[in-house]
Structures are given as C-alpha cells and as structure tokens.
Structure 1
Amino acid sequence: MQTDHPTRPSFRQTHPRILLLTSQYFLIGELKAACERLGVDHFFLDFGTKEMDLDTFVTQMVSTLNTFKPDFVLTVNHLGVDREGVLTTLLKTYDIPLASWFVDNPHLILDTYHHIFEGRTALFTWDFDTVDSLKAMGFDAVFHLPLGADPTRLVPHRTQPVDQWRAPISFVGNSMLTKTIKRIQACNPSPRLLEAGMVMAKAFGESGEPQAERFMRHDFPELLSEFDALGTPERKQAFLTFITWQATLLYRLDCILRILDFDPLIVGDPGWNELLKGRAGWRYHAELSYYDDLPDFYPLSTINFNCTSQQMKGAVNQRVFDVPTCGAFLLTDHRRQIETLFEPDTEIAVYRDPDEIPGLVDLYLNAPDKRARIIKAARKRILAEHTYDHRMMSLMETMRQTFE
C-alpha cells in the first residue's frame, strides 16, 4: 500500500486543520458544529458501525491524510481507532498526532487496544480522577477536559408542550439492568466469581475508589485468581464493566426509591419496570431522543433529578450542563469536581448524600424563586465558560502547545 506523503509544517494556520473520526458517539456532532462556528478547517470521516476490511480502511485513511493534510486527528472514546493498531501506526508514519477525548471511563475501553503508544497521542479525559492513572499506563500527554453544552442544539422544537411529559420531578437515565446482564454474558464468570462480583459491586459503589480493578485488588484480593482465569483482556474488561454497571444500578435504584413519594416520571429503558415492579407512585416513559425531545422535555419538570454513573466518582455528567442550558432546574448528586465548574447551591443544587434527597426535593418544589435564580445563574455560567466552543478552543490550543 502506497503511503508516501509530502512533508508539511503543522499548526501553521490560526486554527489547526482537524480530521474528525466517526459518528458513533453523539459528541462528535457537537465538535463538528463547534468547528463550523469557529471557522476551523475540518473533515469528517465517518466509518459508521459497519465492519471494514483492512485494505479499504487503509486506502480511505491514506487518501484523506494525503488530500486533507490534517494537523491532528480527533476522536471520542477512541472510536474509529482500530484495536489492532493500524491507525496509530499509520499516523506515526505520517507524523500526525491523535487526540482522543474520553467521556466514558478510559480504563474500561483502552485495555483491549494494541499499540496504543504508537506515534504522538494526547488523551483528554472528562474525569480529572483518571489523569494520573492514564499517565501511569504510559501516556505522556494527558489532559483534563470536562463536558459542556451546545446551546445552539439544545433548543425546543415544539410549539405545544407534550402534556404527558409534565411532572413535579423526573429522571432521565438508564436502569443499567440490561447493560449489566450483557456484561455478565460477555465475561462468562464462574458462579463463585459472579456471586462475589455482586457483593463487590455494592462495596465498590459505596467506596471512593474510581477504578473497579484497583478496588478489587485492594479490597477483594481473594478474587484475583479467578479474575485472572478469565484470560482474555476482553473478558476481564467485561467483568470490570459489569462491576461498574451493577454499582450504578444499585446506586440509581436507591436514589430513585427516595423520590417515589413525589410522583416522579422515569424516562429510560424497560429495565425500570423490572426494578420498580410493585412500587406505586411513579410513571414510566420510554427513552426520548436527545436532540428532538429532551430540550422540550426538561422545562416541563419542576425538578430534573440526576444520579451519576459510578464510572465517574468525581466528574459530572452531561445532564449537569444540558438541563440549565434548556432553562430548566436540576437537582444532582455532589461530585468532587463540581466546584471547579459551578458554585453549589448558587449555580447548581446538589445533594451530598441520598438521605438528603426527600428534604431537598420538598424544598425546591416549593421554592419557585430559588429555582429560577439557580437556573439563571447556571445558564449564565455555562454560556460564559462551558460550551463546546470553549472546549474545542481549549483542546486545539493544548494540541498546538503539545505538538507544534
């Protein structure tokens, strides 16, 4: 395969030229739109979800690298980067840096990749807690980059509200029931490891440790031999993901049970019908479209309730930015990194322990002026500091300083 290419000085323009890889994650759409608003030359290469043979993949990449000549390649969660290391080897040949922005736990993703240290790679992570652990893996360039919002996309579409969406309090999120089951099937643990994993998941969720494997090695060392017996990186990754998702399931269920007295509307997968079977006082709605529905949905809840995935013990999730951007009120669990983004109780309402949930729900349901002040302050902060335009500017400048 011919990969000869003319050398070209990089980062010579005001903004770098960026090759965006694949659209399997919603955030690529936000980054593409930010590039357009900022006047950044970019090319979007979508591999989709279909399998692609090696020659086709290399031919398509070589053609794009030779014609577009990017200053760097950008992807989210390493999507578009093949596990065998073909892309990273190709980028090394062309001396083109790779930027991968992780918005899910990188340790539940990278363990199945080969040749991850080929070429010049910068990792950006939404969770500051993973910066040091990624450096410990051997990555030299690791940077913290939180999530954000795109106020141009989070806009209402309907002229009339959907009445069945109205609720005193709502929660939008996955029950994690099916996801947990699928991870169990993928790792196929021994009966003992599965039983012990259920116990470990609960303990992991109650701990402050952000990494499931590190928690296991410290608190459940008796499981290490059976964990190692899983053999392949894929099965081990599936087991650690099962621990994380099961911890999330237990935590979310505990939080949701505490709002049942307030007639909540639960939006998500059918797993909620299983987890809340026999419980009264709540309504179920199937999953809603992120772009088409949620901007109209959030303002119809007096309180939008949030309980964060246990894959992130310190970082905040997308909902923290989206709900205020839509002009709606959010009550969320406290995370260590939240103070770097918002001023708690002034720009965002938080509960620090699930026991606080009922009292705070009752407080905010009966405090419309307080809710309005927090919504206004949060949205002002987001527009000033936390849009995806801000995040792209930060990422581009970091890439320039690191690889120019």
Structure 2
Amino acid sequence: MDQNIVPNQPKFRGKMPRVLLLTSQYFIMGELVAAMERLGVPHRLLDLAAKEMDLQQFVELMTTTLAEFKPDVVLTVNHLGVDREGVLMSILNQLKVPLASWFVDNPHLILDAYNNLDAGRTILFTWDADTVESLADRGFEAVHHLPLGTDPHRFRPEGRPVDDALRARVSFVGNSMKKKTELRFVAARPSFLMVEKGFDIAEGFVEAEDHTVREYMRREWPQVLSDMDRLPRERALAFETYLTWLATCLYRRECIMRIMPYEPLLVGDDGWTELFKRVKGWRYHRELAYYDELPDFYLASDINFNCTSKQMKGACNQRVFDVPCCGAFLLTDHRDQIEDLFEPGREVVFYKDMDEIPALMDKYLNDAEARQRVAAAARKRVLAEHTYDHRVCAMLELLNQTIG
C-alpha cells in the first residue's frame, strides 16, 4: 500500500473573502480553521461557547468584532453561535454582513428551533444533498451541497502503536443512541397516541424511502403527526428527534447483530452494554477521543464496520472519509450519495441489505490483499478530492458566487 501519497492541495483563484467563524464547540470548526490557515484565508475565530454574557454584552462583543475585523461573511457549523431569538441576525442585517452555516447534521432538526430566521440573507451549506430542495422550499435562497471531508494531517497511515485491547478483526465506532433517545422522549412529553405508536413509526422509518420522519409520518401516520404538531414547537421537535434517534438505534442494533459471529469490538457509549447484555462473544470499549485516539484505532482493525445514522438516508458520515484517509479498510452501508464520492468495489465496499453483511465479512477478512487494494485506492481518492482544504475551497467559491 502506498502510504506516502501527498494530498492534492487545491488552489483558490478567486478573491479571498474575510471570514469570521463563530464558536469552536463543534469538532469540524477546528478543521475549518486549520484549512483556512493553510490556504491563506483571512479569518478570525470568535469562541462564544467560552464566554458567559448577557444580551447587552453579546451585542457589544458582536458589533465590536464586526467593526474591527470587517468580515465579508460570518460562518458557523450547525448554526452554533446563532441565538434562537434572532439578535445576531438583526445585527448582521444592519451591517449588511451575510451569515453562512454549514450543516453536518439534519438541518431541519436544528433550524426548527430558531425564531426570526432571515432566509433571504442566510447562505446554507448542507452535507446531505437530499436536504437542498427542502431547505429551498423553506425560503432559503442560497442552499449548496457540501459533503463532509477529512483532515489528512490528523488521519494518517503512520499510526502510533495501540494497546492490544484495541486490536480487533472487526470493530465499530459509534453511538448506540439509546440514552440520546431516552432524553429526547422525556423532553417531548408525548401524548398517549404518540407513545403508543412511536416504536412502530421508528421501526417503519428504518426501511422507508422518505428522507425525514416528518415526511414518513405525513404519508403513513397522519393522526400521530397531527398530535405531534399540536405540541409546543420545542416538544414537537424533541419527539421528531426521538423518532429519528430511535430508528438509528434499531437499525444499528440489527446491523451489528450481523457481525456478532466475528466477535467485534464496539467502541462508544455504554448503551451498547445494555443493548447486547445477553449476547456473548463481543467486546466493549469506552468512547475514544476523535483527535487523539481514533486515527490510530482505525489502523488496528482488519475491518472497520459502519452503519449510518438514520438522520440522513443518502449522505455519508465522517467514517467514510476518516477511515480510508488512515489507509484502513472500511465496510459501510450503501448511501445514494456515496457513488458520487467513491468508485464502488474499487474504492469503497458497501452492503445494500443487512443480509449481505456476513458474506462480505467472510470475503474481506480472508483476503488481506483485497482489503489493502481498496484502502489504498480510497485513500488516494480522499487525498485528491475529499480533504477539508477541498471543502473550504469549494465553500469560498460558492460564497463568492453568492455574495460577490
């Protein structure tokens, strides 16, 4: 395997906009800052999460920063740093500075919690192409598809030795969603009908072609949707999120049951110990730090297994980029958008049905050369097209087209 492939450094030929980044709470913000530094983008990070302030202090901080730095655009991830009451949008509108937000989780489960959204002056990037049309239907005039990526400066084949307890033929890294589901259920305080039908809705959504729970409920469970929409907005959103996370929990449980004969190592929250407490042969490890531990961990497994959250039906999650960037092998579930990113069979191996998992496991566990070929080809593709430097360049070009 060629581990010394040099990333294809993208070049930005347009005018470099000045970018004010809001809050470092989400991990991808660190990658964006690092990419902007490498590309020479004039930027400043304002970490609101580290500051406790009242409304007046917030307004003073924002107006002072905007006046001093004079950004062409304010950028956030998942709308973090944007207050739900619309104060920031009012300030930006007064100063005629557009807001750009890159959604790397379901935008509808986030935006529905906000008031005073100015769709005309907000530029949205979404990692899931399936949400572009629905966001445009909500009045957002500038919506662009921007997939996730990875940082080859962190995820590299030259991994450090890991503890023997982390070595495995097969591993899965991810959240069981069990506790997240329970918390959203409590926050929703659903009606009797919503409680009674909730599990059936989540189970049906796993296999449904609908992109969101709301779409599925509108088609199959209109009475329950009517009950949900009678709740206050925050409780309705909590119930919709509960159904999405429950569907993910059910789906991941079924997928992982297919790899249990291979004695997998499951890495994540302790919800796995509850879901599989009656199943023998598998191992559990606590969550690993994304930056400091995961890059080395991916290299310690023959097969890194992946089953994607049901918050996106067509998009690819972080592991699809991070694992091959390390030069490690990934077996993932099929997403409609994956074939636009990698060549099936040569750069990525996926299952379209859970029943395909055992045969693929047998094939690639017994063929180290095939694993290496796929991993090397995938890494080459990632370095050529799917780093955060590529994503920042694409974002800046789209911003220039939008704001001029």
Q: Same fold (TM over 0.5)?
A: yes
Query: 2:374 and 2:157 mapped to 1: Cα distance?
Result: 20
Q: Which amino acid aligns with 1:322?
A: D
Query: 1:37 and 1:346 mapped to 2: Cα distance?
Result: 31
Aligned to 1:395: 395
- Offset from partner CA, 1:165-216 (integer Å, 9 cap, x none): 1101000000000000000011111233112111101101110111111211
Query: 2:107 and 2:289 mapped to 1: Cα distance?
Result: 26
**Structure 1 regions of 5+ residues with no counterpart?**
1-11
Distance 1:93-1:130 versus aligned 2 partners, 3 A rule:
same
Aligned to 2:217: 216
Distance 1:51-1:137 versus aligned 2 partners, 3 A rule:
farther
Contact 1:92 1:118 (C-alpha < 8 Å) held by counterparts: no
Aligned to 2:91: 90
Show the 5 A alignment for 1:55-134: 55-117=56-118, 120-134=121-135
Show the 5 A alignment for 1:141-156: 141-155=142-156
Aligned to 1:309: 309
> Does 2:362 correspond to 1:380?
no
- Offset from partner CA, 1:212-246 (integer Å, 9 cap, x none): 1121111101213321232x211111000001000
Query: 2:302 and 2:160 mapped to 1: Cα distance?
Result: 19
Distance 1:157-1:364 versus aligned 2 partners, 3 A rule:
closer
Q: CA deviation at 1:159?
A: 4.3
Distance 1:118-1:221 versus aligned 2 partners, 3 A rule:
closer
Contact 2:112 2:237 (C-alpha < 8 Å) held by counterparts: yes
> Does 2:168 correspond to 1:167?
yes
Query: 1:160 and 1:234 mapped to 2: Cα distance?
Result: 46
Q: Which amino acid aligns with 1:110?
A: L
The residue matched to 1:170 in structure 2 has which SS? strand
Q: Which amino acid aligns with 2:358?
A: P
The residue matched to 1:109 in structure 2 has which SS? helix
Q: CA deviation at 1:276?
A: 0.2
**Structure 2 regions of 5+ residues with no counterpart?**
1-12
Contact 2:159 2:299 (C-alpha < 8 Å) held by counterparts: no
Contact 1:148 1:386 (C-alpha < 8 Å) held by counterparts: yes
Show the 5 A alignment for 1:179-328: 179-230=180-231, 232-328=232-328
Contact 2:214 2:225 (C-alpha < 8 Å) held by counterparts: no
Contact 2:157 2:327 (C-alpha < 8 Å) held by counterparts: no
Aligned to 2:6: none
Contact 1:35 1:392 (C-alpha < 8 Å) held by counterparts: yes
Query: 2:292 and 2:107 mapped to 1: Cα distance?
Result: 29
Q: CA deviation at 1:157?
A: 8.4
Percent identity, aligned pairs only, is 60
Query: 2:51 and 2:187 mapped to 1: Cα distance?
Result: 21
Q: CA deviation at 1:144?
A: 0.3
Instruction: Normalising by structure 2, report the TM-score.
Output: 0.95
The residue matched to 1:322 in structure 2 has which SS? helix
Aligned to 1:176: 177
Q: Which amino acid aligns with 2:116?
A: H
The residue matched to 2:125 in structure 1 has which SS? strand
The residue matched to 2:112 in structure 1 has which SS? helix
Aligned to 1:334: 334
The residue matched to 1:48 in structure 2 has which SS? helix
Q: CA deviation at 1:158?
A: 6.5
Once the two structures are overlaid, the 10-residue window that deviates more, 159-168 or 95-104, is 159-168
Query: 1:83 and 1:236 mapped to 2: Cα distance?
Result: 16
Instruction: Normalising by structure 1, report the TM-score.
Output: 0.95
Query: 1:50 and 1:61 mapped to 2: Cα distance?
Result: 12
The residue matched to 1:112 in structure 2 has which SS? coil
Query: 2:375 and 2:93 mapped to 1: Cα distance?
Result: 46
Aligned to 1:9: none
Show the 5 A alignment for 1:325-364: 325-364=325-364
Query: 2:119 and 2:133 mapped to 1: Cα distance?
Result: 20
Q: CA deviation at 1:51?
A: 4.8
For this pair of structures, how many residues does the alignment match? 392
Contact 2:331 2:348 (C-alpha < 8 Å) held by counterparts: yes
The residue matched to 2:299 in structure 1 has which SS? helix
Query: 1:367 and 1:269 mapped to 2: Cα distance?
Result: 31
The residue matched to 2:49 in structure 1 has which SS? coil
Aligned to 1:4: none
The residue matched to 1:44 in structure 2 has which SS? strand
Query: 2:157 and 2:324 mapped to 1: Cα distance?
Result: 13
Aligned to 2:10: none
Q: Which amino acid aligns with 1:254?
A: E
Query: 2:277 and 2:136 mapped to 1: Cα distance?
Result: 44
Distance 1:129-1:119 versus aligned 2 partners, 3 A rule:
closer
Query: 1:302 and 1:36 mapped to 2: Cα distance?
Result: 35
Query: 2:283 and 2:51 mapped to 1: Cα distance?
Result: 37
Contact 2:105 2:311 (C-alpha < 8 Å) held by counterparts: yes
Contact 1:91 1:119 (C-alpha < 8 Å) held by counterparts: no
The residue matched to 2:288 in structure 1 has which SS? coil
